[in-house]
Amino acid sequence: MPRSRRKARAQGFKGDRHIVSNAPAPDVVVVGSANLDLVALAQRLPHPGETVSAHDYFEVCGGKGANQAIAAARAGANTAFIGAVGRDSAGDTLRDAFVADRVDVTHLHIVEQPTGRALIGVSDDAENLIIV
């Protein structure tokens, strides 16, 4: 292999992301989805065609991968997340949540498609319905 190619490989990819880093290797690497969940809490879930009133609403980070990465980081593991979010306010919210929980977002890709969203209904007796 020519010397210049060996040197380039040793230094890592020269793009908008760096592969080589002085940061310690993560204990846990999660590859998965990240969504912004809109959760509605209600006394009970609606029947088909029925409307019920919610007594609370909130937005929270969601997606199987995001949930696992944040849980691992909160448990003390040095955690990295590999996934994608959109270039939108929901993507910004998810990225900020990862950073707040000390999840490495070096490989969180920002894409032109909108960030995934989920609508979640939860009843007072903990039954739920989810639309992604």
Query: What DSSP character marks residue 88?
Result: S
Residue 41 included in any domain? yes
Rounded Cα gap, residues 30 and 25, in angstroms = 13
Rounded Cα gap, residues 84 and 98, in angstroms = 12
Amino acid found at 94: L
Residue 9 included in any domain? no
* 89-104 tens-digit pLDDT: 999 999 999 999 999 9
Looking at per-residue confidence, does 41 or 2 come out higher?
Answer: 41
Residue 94 included in any domain? yes
Query: What DSSP character marks residue 47?
Result: P
Amino acid found at 108: L
Residue 19 included in any domain? no
For residue 109, give its domain range: 28-131
Amino acid found at 31: V
Instruction: Write down the pLDDT at residue 79.
Output: 97
Residue 35 included in any domain? yes
Return phi, psi of residue 125, to 5°: -95, 20
- Give the chain's domain count: 1
* 8-51 tens-digit pLDDT: 444 444 444 444 556 678 999 999 999 999 999 999 999 999 99
Residue 46 included in any domain? yes
User: CATH no. for residue 117?
Assistant: 3.40.1190.30
